[in-house]
Amino acid sequence: MNSHDSDNFPAPRPVRDSQSDMAEIVLPNDANPLGALLGGRLMHWIDLAGALAAHRHSRHYVVTASIDHLDFLFPVRVGDLVILRSSVNRVFHTSMEVGVKVWVENYIADEAHHVSSAYLTFVAVDKNGKHVAVPAVIPETEDEQRRYQDAGRRREIRHAELERRRRHLVRGT
Ligand SMILES: CC(C)(COP(=O)(O)OP(=O)(O)OC[C@H]1O[C@@H](n2cnc3c(N)ncnc32)[C@H](O)[C@@H]1OP(=O)(O)O)[C@@H](O)C(=O)NCCC(=O)NCCS
């Protein structure tokens, strides 16, 4: 496990410093034969958008440890503009939970829909792949404080599930 020298360890940073926006236009190569965005492509963008916030906050390399449950609430079409907004919800030690919210904008119809949300956990690593501690995050707004509290509950669920899956793997069931 990693430790840090508290004298040199970076000070906590506000959530807003990690907030990142990414925009993608859906092109034919991103879509299935019916002209709808491939779920896997959106997952890729969510991963990248999440990593942006994790990099900005930790100022380290990061690897994706997990992505929680993902719903696709509306089909997204070729030509739509996809906006992904991410920020760090909470830092634990070497890991941090990042929330990504996805909207789609159809600029012809002048419509915008929330199409997906996801919680990802990233682990900060150095250039040798060794885990490194991440500075704490400061939730300032009410929404940020709510997400911070919820992230603690989600971590407990995530760890319980991980433990359960590991037991099944060991038993081969
Ligand atoms: C994710 C990974 C770094 C965890 O390393 P590990 O040695 O198994 O895990 P540890 O038990 O030491 O835990 C390290 C941290 O990761 C967290 N973690 C580990 N597995 C996790 C999971 N499945 N979901 C969420 N968090 C997880 C732990 O809670 C811990 O966080 P903390 O330091 O904030 O308390 C390691 O499994 C790995 O490198 N996986 C491959 C990552 C990858 O290739 N991603 C896709 C490409 S980027």
> In terms of residue numbers, what domain contains 64?
13-171
Residue 142 lies in a domain: yes
Residue 133 lies in a domain: yes
Mutate to test the pocket of ligand 1, among 60, 123, 153, 161 (most ligand atoms within 8 A of CB): 123
CA of 122 to the centre of ligand 1 (A): 7
Ligand 1, atom 33: nearest CA belongs to which residue?
Answer: 94
Residue 22 lies in a domain: yes
Residue 2 lies in a domain: no
- Residue 1: the pLDDT is 43
Residue 62 lies in a domain: yes
- Residue 155: the pLDDT is 97
For the question of whether the overall pTM of this predicted structure is more than 0.75, the answer is yes
Three-state DSSP string of the chain = CCCCCCCCCCCCEEHHHHCEEEEEECCHHHECCCCEECHHHHHHHHHHHHHHHHHHHHCCEEEEEEECCCCCCCCCECCCEEEEEEEEEEECCCEEEEEEEEEEEECCCCEEEEEEEEEEEEEEECCCCCECCCCCEECCCHHHHHHHHHHHHHHHHHHHHHHHHHHHHHHCC
Examine the pLDDT at 31 and tell me if it is beyond 50: yes
Residue 92 Cα: closest atom of ligand 1: 34
Residue 62 Cα: closest atom of ligand 1: 48
Give me the CATH number covering residue 76.
3.10.129.10
Residue 81 lies in a domain: yes
- Whether ligand 1 lies within 6 angstroms of the CB of 116 is answered as no
- Whether ligand 1 lies within 6 angstroms of the CB of 92 is answered as yes
Residue 65 Cα: closest atom of ligand 1: 1
Residue 91 Cα: closest atom of ligand 1: 34
Residue 4 lies in a domain: no
Q: What is the pLDDT of residues 62-103, one digit of tens each?
A: 999 999 988 899 899 999 999 999 999 999 999 999 999 999
Residue 141 lies in a domain: yes
Examine the pLDDT at 173 and tell me if it is beyond 80: no
- Whether ligand 1 lies within 6 angstroms of the CB of 121 is answered as yes
Q: How many domains is the chain partitioned into structurally?
A: 1
